Chain A
């Protein structure tokens, strides 16, 4: 049967591939004709003149045709399975190494200030990456565990940052007092957002959380008397080492410990500070997953109605998820404020929410190590491709599309059970729900 069908089946894919490739080329032509094919330039008289770039257009359309044809011949009309090109031995090796990835990454993070003490740029980048790791872990509670799609996470980051900035500048409270206050205030706003969205699911929830993020930003932008509007808040107190400031003076950190003053001390301190904050987020999340509240979050993601039939109060469960996620966002926000020394609403745009959500989704919803790796790759990679300037977003988008084709459920798609009787087995991605959001 199969042998008889073979010649027939072989002629058909070519036909189908040619057809698909032709169609793709046509769409590409329609798109790129205006984007690439036409160009307006200022002529000698100052008027705009239309010039054409037909060779470039032809090249692009040709490239799309060739790419589409190759794809059609290699994969047929199936989804591209890059996975099948990766030898199973490599996958097994990766899984084995994966177990040590967490401790290895942590060890590396601890050593970064020693390794790159002289490289201010890398230290700053490390701080930035860790900030996003923390934000990713915070959002992971809401999106990954509770399955509530939150597109306005940056609002809590902003609340934390402004809480710290206002408390520190007006009441001259220290960072260590402001930090929990900022977390509590953010959690409070998380609950405030939670109430109206209790009944919402999926797309509707996403839209309301998106709007919430924008509302917070617009309030910060327009409430000039309190927030300084677009000018933001400047000269926010920098953190001190438990009361010892990082300055070149008597009674400072450097003089107390008999060190020569160096501005790097503060950067290193900030690095360890955000590392500690991120690790606290991680520790709390790991603990919570093994507590009834964390299990209820995951159960709610899997099936909310079943939760209610078991007597689980889904209202408080949802609100605690929002509050907990928001609190860690608030911690990260107050760290951001103290690090920058200046904040304005510009730092809290929707793009930030989208970036953090992308980190969570790419890393694999619910996976702590996956989120950390995704933050490292996304933020670090973004910096790596800085030289490409305007093509940077292109590379970035291409990388994201590739990862999503290769691993549609994120880098670490399996779920670790929170409790086990016998041998601990990871739950396959196919079974794990993604929540209604």
Chain B
């Protein structure tokens, strides 16, 4: 087994309780390196809670989240302070309700994302303050990277427009570009196709495939749009009421009676049988 075939992310018995509410209950799954793993489930299934635990915004009640880099270093994400998940473990994320910096231009959004690299290059501000050459070179490199991602997301024309003035689909793409500017090993996308039309969804599929194949970034995806999920995911994990009800390839998930039951419901007479299968 090479390092590349190891799972990049292993979630073990992750639980998240909010008071009496158990949002995620003993969830275990693994995301493989270089794969697109989708996390699906009906509304309120706890998908975003899992995301928030992985990206350090929530501290899970119990459980372990292990992220391993190709060089063998591993991080226990539940122990890292929120911003360190992005900085040290290199996990980037986007948000369900887009969180850009609306008053900054698209270009600035992408440059802000390279904060930690630039901070070091600017000698923690001192070298930058006096305009040393090393700083100018680093800034130019940051600009080039921003330009590359703007080009990839077809936003080059809008580089100098405020992010808040972009159209909805453009904002979604910009958020992905911004996340990619942090050079993540794992990219977590929370409903990237929400609010996109069919053409934009198709473009999104292409973009995600590109990120996966060209940049080798593993992707973890929450999505409701099945045209996106089924087409691009290598592996799907299905959640319902905080519990994993299925885990497998898109074909397997598509035909799984538990998943169908969770999404579509079942006939009255079948309820008991399905409940027994699910283990209620």
Which one of A121-129, A191-199, A234-242, A426-434 is at the B interface?
Answer: A426-434
Cα of A418 to Cα of B108 in the assembled complex, Å? 7
Rounded to whole angstroms, the CA-CA distance of A2 and B225 in the bound complex is: 44
Q: Could you tell me if A310 and B86 are in contact, using CB atoms closer than 8 angstroms? A: yes
Closest A residue to B109 using CB positions: A299
Please name all residues of chain B whose beta carbon is closer than 8 Å to the beta carbon of A310 when the two chains form the complex: 86, 92, 112-113, 115, 178-179, 182
What sequence of 0s and 1s flags, for each residue 94-123 of chain B, a beta carbon within 8 Å of any chain A beta carbon? Answer: 010001111111011001111110110010
A9 beta carbon closer than 8 Å to chain B: no
B87: A residues at CB distance < 8 A: 311, 313
Would you call A417 and B108 a contact (CB within 8 A)?
A: yes
Judged by a CB distance under 8 angstroms, whether A415 is at the interface is yes
Asked if B245 is at the interface (CB within 8 A of a chain A CB), the reply is no
Chain B residues with CB under 8 A of A303: 99-102
- Chain B nearest CB from A246 CB (Å) reads 33
The answer to the question of A419 belonging to the interface, with a C-beta cut-off of 8 Å to chain B, is yes
* Cα separation A50 to B113 with both chains bound (whole Å): 69
User: Is the pair B105, A427 in contact by a Cβ cutoff of 8 Å?
Assistant: yes
B159 interface contact, C-beta 8 A? yes
CA distance A310 to B57 in the complex (A): 12
Binds B, one of A103-111, A163-171, A289-297: A289-297
B147 partner residues in chain A, CB cutoff 8 A: 421
- State whether the Cβ of B280 lies closer than 8 Å to any Cβ in chain A: no
Per-position binary interface string of chain A over residues 8-49, scored 1 when its CB falls under 8 Å from any chain B CB and 0 otherwise: 000000000000000000000000000000000000000000
Bound CA span A306–B104, Å: 13
Tell me the smallest distance from the CB of B249 to a CB of chain A, in Å.
30
User: In the complex, A4→B176 CA distance in Å?
Assistant: 51
**For this complex, into which size category does the number of interface residues on chain B fall?**
35 or more
> B119 to chain A: which residues have CB within 8 Å?
292-293
Residue-wise interface mask of A (404-433) relative to B, using a CB-CB cutoff of 8 A (1 in contact, 0 not)? 000000000001011111111101101111
In contact, B92 and A433 (Cβ under 8 angstroms): no
Given contacts A306-B101, A310-B92, A310-B113, contact A424 B83 (CB under 8 A): no
Q: Say yes or no: A421-B160 contact (C-beta < 8 A), given A314-B83, A428-B165.
A: yes
B129 interface residue per 8 A CB criterion: yes
Residues of A within 8 A of B250 (CB): none
Structural contact, B129 and A287, CB atoms closer than 8 A: yes
B6 within 8 A of A: no
Is B84 in the interface zone, CB < 8 Å from A?
A: yes
Q: Is A298 an interface residue when CB atoms closer than 8 A count as contact?
A: yes
> Any chain A CB within 8 A of the CB of B164?
yes
Contacts of A388 in B (CB 8 A): none
Q: B170 on the interface (CB 8 Å rule)?
A: no
Complex: how many Å from CA A418 to CA B143? Answer: 12
Q: Is B162 on the interface with A (CB-CB < 8 A)?
A: yes
Inside 8 A of B182's CB, which chain A residues have their CB? 310-311
Closest to A421 in B: B159
Decide: A312 and B115 in contact? CB cutoff 8 A.
yes
CB distance from A381 to the nearest CB of B (A): 30
Is A53 in contact with chain B by the CB < 8 A criterion?
no
Q: Is the CB of B165 within 8 A of A419?
A: no
Q: In the complex, how many angstroms separate the beta carbon of B39 from the nearest chain A beta carbon?
A: 17
Chain A hits for B116, CB < 8 A: 311-312
Q: How far does the Cβ of B56 sit from chain A's closest Cβ, in whole Å?
A: 8
Closest to A284 in B: B129
Is B128 in the interface zone, CB < 8 Å from A?
yes
- Report Cα–Cα, A306/B178, bound state, in Å: 10
Closest residue of B by beta carbon distance from A305: B99
Instruction: Name the A residues within 8 Å of B161 (CB-CB).
Output: 425
A150 contacts the other chain (CB 8 A):
no
| B274 CB, min distance to chain A CBs, angstroms | 38
Does A432 contact B129, Cβ atoms closer than 8 Å?
A: no
B61 at the interface (CB under 8 A from A): no
Give the residue of A299, A306, A415 whose beta carbon is less than 8 angstroms from that of B95. Answer: A306
Distance in angstroms from B107 CB to nearest chain A CB is 6
- Assuming the A-B contacts A295-B111, A306-B100, A431-B102, are A311 and B129 also in contact, with contact meaning beta carbons closer than 8 angstroms in the complex? no
8 A Cβ contacts from B226-266 to A: none
Q: Is the CB of A292 within 8 A of B122?
A: yes
Bound complex: CA A196 to CA B150 (Å): 39
Q: Does A200 contact B (CB under 8 A)?
A: no
B103 partner, pick from A291, A311, A433, beta carbons under 8 A: A433
Whether A432 pairs with B103 at a CB distance below 8 angstroms is yes
A325 to chain B, nearest CB (A): 15
Q: Is A225 among interface residues, defined by CB-CB distance under 8 A? A: no
Interface mask (B44-58 → A, CB under 8 Å = 1, otherwise 0): 000000000001110
Residue of chain A at shortest CB distance from B105: A417
Q: How far is the CB of A145 from chain B (nearest CB, A)?
A: 11
In the complex, chain B residues 15-61 whose Cβ is within 8 Å of any chain A Cβ: 55-57
Query: Which residues in A have their C-beta under 8 angstroms from that of B92?
Result: 309-310
Interface check A120, CB cutoff 8 A: no
Instruction: State whether A308 and B82 are in contact (beta carbons under 8 Å apart), knowing that A293-B119, A295-B115, A417-B104 are contacts in the complex.
Output: yes
The answer, yes or no, to whether B173 is at the interface (CB within 8 Å) is no
Least CB distance, B176 to chain A, in whole angstroms = 12
Residues of B within 8 A of A293 (CB): 119, 122, 125
The docked-state distance in angstroms from the alpha carbon of A287 to that of B104 is 17
Nearest CB of chain B from residue A49's CB, rounded to whole Å: 60
Interface residues in B121-175 (C-beta closer than 8 Å to A): 122, 125, 128-129, 143, 147, 150, 156, 159-165
Whether the pair B107, A417 counts as a contact (CB closer than 8 A) is yes
Chain B residues with CB under 8 Å of chain A are 55-57, 82-88, 92-93, 95, 99-105, 107-108, 111-116, 118-119, 122, 125, 128-129, 143, 147, 150, 156, 159-165, 178-179, 182
Q: Which 3 A-B pairs have the closest CB atoms?
A: A311-B86, A311-B87, A432-B103
Given contacts A298-B108, A303-B102, A311-B83, 12 further A-B contacts (CB under 8 A): A298-B104, A306-B101, A309-B92, A309-B179, A310-B112, A311-B86, A419-B105, A419-B108, A420-B159, A422-B159, A431-B162, A432-B162
User: 13 A-B residue contacts at CB 8 Å?
Assistant: A295-B112, A302-B104, A308-B86, A309-B55, A309-B57, A311-B84, A314-B83, A418-B108, A422-B159, A422-B160, A427-B105, A427-B162, A431-B102
